[in-house]
Each structure stands twice: as structure tokens, then as C-alpha cells.
Amino acid sequence: MRKPIIAGNWKMNNNVAATKALVADLAPLVKDATCDVVICTPYTSLAAAVEATKGTNIKVGAENVHWAEKGAFTGEISADMLVELGVEYVIVGHSERRQYFGETDATVNARTKAALAKGLKVILCVGETLEEREAGITAEVVRRQTKVGFAGIPASELDNVVIAYEPVWAIGTGKTATAQEANDTIKVIRDCMAELYCDKCAEERVRIQYGGSMNAKNAEELMAQPQIDGGLIGGASLKAVDFSIVVAAGK
Ligand code: PGA
């Protein structure tokens, strides 16, 4: 009912040459995927990624977008600029942006609205830190991030926003949430979406990925969970074979 979506988050990796090489390796490996396949690349590699993925089933995403249409925002990139390049997706609110670049729930909301207004699909990230998990407030944190993140976004846009649940302590650490932990927290997020929109919307239209050290070894177990609709993959998305194994699990 909910089509799985496996997205690579390349972060600050792969220049243009490496992008072309990785897409060339990846495309034949994922051509029969039954899930949506996305690669999110640095801004400087987007044009090359769009070109290299033409005629394939791989979609291209950016890793951030500004909320304003244009203006005095040195170093920022607008949704129009991404659309012009042929980019279809954008990650918003990744925990590294929240942690190192002052991203807040309110700016996540502003970026999401700006992206949707220009027809981009958004991968909106939520997730608790280790301190928050240990304090027993995981549900509270992801509910707050979800509610503020979706403030003012109409139900008609639900097909265009994917939520990525990424426990911060599991990102790049090799520590994965257990499949059960991931499933349980994603259920909390889905219940929150049901409250914000409707039961049917949350059940049928809201896709929620897991992210955080998801890889070729654990993807199948994670994807077998009923609440998990895909993955946002960092480290393992940089290797074509590893990423293609995760994609194959996305069914
Ligand atoms: P990881 O990163 O797979 O390297 O843990 C996931 C992410 O940050 O999106």
C-alpha cells in the first residue's frame, strides 16, 4: 500500500567525477527495483547526477534548501534553483544540520513549505539524541519535531513528504536502533500524523523511513518491520553494491 523508498544521503562526499562513476556503477544494479530509489548529493554534483541518471529509475535529491525564493542569503540555495537543475527531492532537517548549522523545527517547517511550493518532494528528518533517549523523552521529541515540521502543510501534500526517522545516536556510529525500536518509534510518528491529519492518511499515504547505520547486512530485518517504509542511507550509499543490496531489501 505504501511504496517503499530507499534514499542515499551522500553528505559531503563525491565530486562530479566520483558522482558520474558511482551512478554508472549503481544504475544497472538497481534497475529492477520495486521501490523508489533516490540519491541525494552535494549541490555541486546535482547537475552531473541528474544527467547521469537520465533514462534510469534513480531520482536525484539535494541535501538542503533555503526557505526564501531569493535574496541576501549568502551561501544558500533556493528551491527554484534546484528545480531548474531537474532535482526532484530534498532532505530537510537532517540532524547534522540541526546539530552543526542551527536548524530548528521552525526552519525545518519553513524549508519544507518552500520546497513543496516549488514542486519538490521533501524527506523531512526527525530523531532523538542519545541524551533524549536516555531521559525517556524520545516520543515527546519526535512528536514535537513532527508537529512543528508539518505546521500549516495541507493533507494534499502528504504524498510529497517522506519522513525519515533517524535516531541521532545511530547515525554514522555503526549503532543501529534495533528493528523493534525503530518500528516502535515510527509508530509513534505515524500516530502523530494520524492526529494531525487522519487515520487513513497516516496509514496509506505517509511514508516513514528509518535511517542510522542502515546497511547491506541489516536492511532486510529493518525493512521487514510493518511500520518501516524505506531507509535514508549515509555511509552505505557511497558504495554501489552495498546500496543496491539495501535497495533490493526495499520491497
Ligand atoms: P549513516 O547516515 O547511514 O551513515 O548512519 C544516515 C544519515 O545520516 O542519513
> Length of the chain in residues, anyone?
251
Minimal CA–CA distance to 149: which of 184, 104, 202?
A: 104
Average of pLDDT values for 118-134? 96
Residue 174: its pLDDT value, please? 83
Q: Is 66 considered catalytic here?
A: no
CB atoms within 10 A of CB 186: 23
Q: How far is the CA of 236 from the centre of ligand 1 (A)?
A: 8
Residue 146: its pLDDT value, please? 98
Residue 156 cell numbers, joined = 494534499
Q: How far is the CA of 69 from the centre of ligand 1 (A)?
A: 29
Residue 176: its pLDDT value, please? 80
Residue 175: its pLDDT value, please? 82
Render the chain in DSSP notation, one character per residue: -PPPEEEEE--S---HHHHHHHHHHHHHHHTT-SSEEEEE--HHHHHHHHHHTTTSSEEEEES---SSSSSS-TT---HHHHHHHT--EEEES-HHHHHHS---HHHHHHHHHHHHHTT-EEEEEE---HHHHHTT-HHHHHHHHHHHHTTT--GGGGGGEEEEE--GGGTTSS-PPPHHHHHHHHHHHHHHHHHHS-HHHHHHT-EEEEESS--TTTHHHHHTSTT--EEEESGGGGSHHHHHHHHHH--
Residue 72: its pLDDT value, please? 98
Angle of CA points 72, 148, 98, to nearest 5°: 60
Q: How far is the CA of 205 from the centre of ligand 1 (A)?
A: 24
Q: Is 166 considered catalytic here?
A: yes
Q: What percent of the chain has pLDDT over 70?
A: 100
- The residue whose CB lies within 8 Å of the most ligand 1 atoms, and thus the one to mutate among 6, 9, 90, 96, is 9
Residue 155: pLDDT over 90: yes
Local confidence band at 251 (pLDDT 50, 70, 90 cut-offs): confident
Residue 167: its pLDDT value, please? 96
Which one of 63, 66, 94, 96 is the catalytic residue? 94
Angle of CA points 168, 62, 246, to nearest 5°: 60
Residue 199: its pLDDT value, please? 98
Residue 172: pLDDT over 90: no
Is the CB of residue 9 below 6 angstroms from any atom belonging to ligand 1?
A: yes
pLDDT digits (tens, 9 = 90+) for 14-65: 999 999 999 999 999 999 999 999 999 999 999 999 999 999 999 999 999 9
Residue 32: its pLDDT value, please? 97
How many whole angstroms separate alpha carbon 183 and alpha carbon 66?
A: 31
Is the CB of residue 166 below 6 angstroms from any atom belonging to ligand 1?
A: yes
Sort 120 into a burial class: Cβ within 10 Å, 0-12 / 13-18 / 19+.
buried
6 forms bridges with which residues in the sheet?
37, 231
pLDDT digits (tens, 9 = 90+) for 105-114: 999 999 999 9
Average of pLDDT values for 83-98? 98
- The residue whose CB lies within 8 Å of the most ligand 1 atoms, and thus the one to mutate among 6, 13, 173, 232, is 232
For CA atoms 181, 182, 187, 192, give the dihedral sign. Answer: positive
Cβ neighbours of residue 245 closer than 8 Å, sequence gap 6 or more: 216, 219
